[in-house]
Amino acid sequence: MERVEISAGKLRGLLRLADDEGRFRMMAIDQRGSLKRMIKKVTGRDATYEDLAQIKKLIVKVLSPYSSATLIDPGYGYPIAAKHLPPEVGLLLAVEETGYLASGAGEKERKTRLLEGWSVEKVKRAGADGVKLLLYYRHDGSPEVVEHQQEIARRVGEECAKYDIPYVLELVAYPFKEDEDKDS
């Protein structure tokens, strides 16, 4: 069996994200757009910053003790909820904007955007144990969109290597817009 080398920072981060048996039992509360829509559906009004922050704080307080790590967004979740994370629970911060930029011919494709004002360096300075990037991906997409998505993934990966922090890449396959319309 070939020996695998891992840097000290990545090893430390992975150990913080995993439980004592090396399993990843992470709880995700980095939802933003979908959570806003749910709040509006229930309350009949647009969700405020405070609404999202308080919901995330409550979820973190109640559920984080049962997870090996908690995935939080830097905008709504981190500022208020991070202080409620138990010390033994790892912290994973998302670096992508909520949603996507409709792109390509007929705007049927999705481009991931990075959060303005946040970087891998800032995630590390914030005390996170890892970086998460959600990336919409279709290998059969237009060359321009595929290249854009690959470049974002590569750039975040290079920054994670530079700052010696684990990188969790969440790939999301999706139907083209016309495929969604056919199913409606």
Report pLDDT digits (tens) over 16-28: 999 999 999 999 9
Across 125-140, average pLDDT: 96
Residue 2 lies in a domain: no
Across 127-154, average pLDDT: 95
CATH number at residue 126: 3.20.20.70
Tokens of 152: 């974002």
Query: Model confidence at 175, in pLDDT bands (50, 70, 90)?
Result: confident
Residue 168 lies in a domain: yes
- Which 3-state string (H, E, C) describes 48-87? CHHHHHHHHHHHHHHHHHHCCEEEECCCCHHHHHHHHCCC
Query: Model confidence at 179, in pLDDT bands (50, 70, 90)?
Result: low
Residue 161 lies in a domain: yes
For residue 146, the enclosing domain spans: 8-183
> What's the domain count of the chain?
1
